[in-house]
Structure 1
Amino acid sequence: MYMEKSTLLTGQTLTFCGNPLHEPWEECVRIDSAGAVLMQGARIAAVGDAAALKSAHPQAHVISYGDDLICPGFVDAHVHFPQTAMIASWGKRLIDWLNTYTFPEEARFADPAYAARIAARYLDLTAANGTTTVASFATIHPASVDALFEAAALRGQCVVTGKTCMNRNAPDDLRDTAQSAYDDSKELIARWHGKGRAQYAITPRFSPTSTSEQLSALGTLWAEHPDCLMQTHLSEQTDEVEWVHSLFPDARDYLDTYEVHGLLGARGLYGHAIHLTPREVDRLAEVQGRVIHCPTSNMFIGSGALNLPALAARGIPLGLATDTGGGSSFSMLRTMAAAYEAAQHHGHALHAAQLLWLATAGSADALHLSGQIGTLEQGHFADIAVLDLRSTAAIAQRANRSYSVWEDVFATIMMGDDRALRATWIAGTCVTA
């Protein structure tokens, strides 16, 4: 009888039994200093005490990570993989930044070979930072969607993506139509959604680049495929909000431009959502629409600081994201640090346990993937990030003065980068050196 190869990772293990934004973190987040994760094939077979798992599985290949922290792989819930090559482009407000940098780069994705190169590069860069799942916008070109799904399939990786739809306020070579947006997206759903670990997201870029006709067409498509996600942008900058009001004068607010076209729901991912009206907050809470927090991007482009604790208090599901390339880093560690700083702006100090939850289980829940990824749990995919809590001299000297492992974790969140990643595992395979 064939037995799948077993691998036992030992070290300090991070586990969740609840949402630390809704209950005391001490009661629902735990670090086991002598823990282990048993992997069989692509999935986690057991999580528990290292000595007990070694005894129960003597045939398992053991990899000891010592005092390193074994975490769920990071889940980046809002990115633009086509912006990989232009990340950290200088200075501009959102609309200028799109016109100056983003749209010219996205036009290059008409070349399928270029799309394939960037997709592979992007997944390599994010894996080096411990990210194992992303929800990404593609471009208007169907080949850009194929490129990311194909690159992910080679790695056994779960990604969410979709053709970005725009039929106005964009260059001619980046416009589609209401009909082609519907037709292309429908064809891509049939080709990819639910095949292996691929998940499709219907993707209007944002209301300013879609007419009412196109938004309605995509709302119809979502109603026809309700198991798909829908991703877009919402209330990122104040001048963007004013622009939306001028384009949709009959709308009650920005969110209403999606709602009236069938693009508001629990499987909707709404990136940024900084400048919300009370009605928008009420509706997102009512329908359980997902708000994706993009703090590095918000600061880089001068959008503002999301009051994440206030939205959490309303019960709105929340994810965390780098928003590459509006965000200036591929690192979810840097993104967690920025989320801490944004919350401090509103008088809240997020604990390291809450930040790690946002970057793993929280984002997985936002993507409706909590039964598959986001926690170290039996039956979940073995998507794992291993953090060296003494990765640099600066972090190590801080750790020498710490009184708990949580102090060590917080220092790594605030000062860590890709050097803190000891290893990244995707579907039970180590994909980093």
Structure 2
Amino acid sequence: MAPLPALLLPQALRAPRTFFLPSRRLGTGEGPTNTFDVAVVGAGIVGLASARELCLRHPSLTFAVLEKEKELAVHQSGHNSGVIHSGIYYTPGSLKAKLCVEGSLLCYEYCDKKGIPYKQCGKLIVAVEQEEIPRLKALYERGLQNKVRGLKLINTKEIQAKEPYCRGLMALDSPYTGIVNYRQVALAYAEDFQAAGGTVLTDFEVKDIQMNKESPIGSEEGMKYPVAVRNSKGEEIHCRHLISCAGLYSDRLSQISGCSPEPRIVPFRGDYLVLKPEKCYLVRGNIYPVPDPRFPFLGFHFTPRMDGSVWLGPNAVLAFKREGYKFYDFSVPDFIDATAYSGLWKLVLRNFSYGMGEMYRACFLSAQVKQLQRFIPEVTVNDILSFRYTGSPRVINI
């Protein structure tokens, strides 16, 4: 078996059931029970999927997942739209395009295998103005190059057949786009990981990472585990290889390990509106606008949820806390860190007009509803029930 690379790799709702893994209590003293061949930092869906796959591929090795929260998948993995994308948007030949197309198939297969509910409700990317049609056709060609299944362009009459309340001149129909509760998927990964012999340590916030030149355990055996990982309580684990899947804290974890903090993470928040239950009949599947290639966001869209609700949005505004999901969440260190970073201001200046529009819509509900009425005129301000918040961070490399 080829050795795993000894590198730290920075990486940029409620579940239908409760899943809780108590932290295994670790002492400050070292011992063989605190040692692992591979440790993964972060028990979001990326960390759990990575740990699960490694554990299944290398059953002779020992694995641990380190999570700072008391529960799993409570941040990005539990604060997202839940869409299973088909791979339309990404540059042909790119890793994103390849992984999204393959990943959507694997996601459906895994959900079927584990009995995780999902809905293959499809998606329409709708052009409502003539000037959007060339971009829509270009997106269709891109999807074909990416080998996205079932794509086709449809006319106004066909749009009405799929979405009776939606208005549009032309649409790109992606029938294999779906929705799922990604936190439930992440928790299933955790169960697989534990069943394969993996260890999950919750309430383990990594504060220090050291590469020891001498054995920390005081024996020749200890030299096999040269990476020391200490948490905020002073507890330690030792491992041969450490993999970072720390989400919004990937850059900071990279920095404390002695690596570069670049690319940097800048937190953005997405605010969704929620349609009143009696108005959910207006939307059957995902309805998206034609994206503007000048901006790094997909625009306001209609997203059905697994619980039967319909989310409308999101906007994209700077968040003042990395893991802040409410309008009033604020962290002084996170705010200073973001606003002092020159890369943020380059992003702001490059997208100034878009950003001002997003701020305006964030302040005025009627402005958000006006965007939605371009597609479904029947939606009114009185049809909005509440707000939901997601994370939409940007990875910036100056």
With normalisation by structure 1, the TM-score equals: 0.24
- Of structures 1 and 2, the larger Rg is shown by 2
Indicate the structure whose relative CO is greater, using CA pairs within 8 Å and at least 6 residues apart: 2
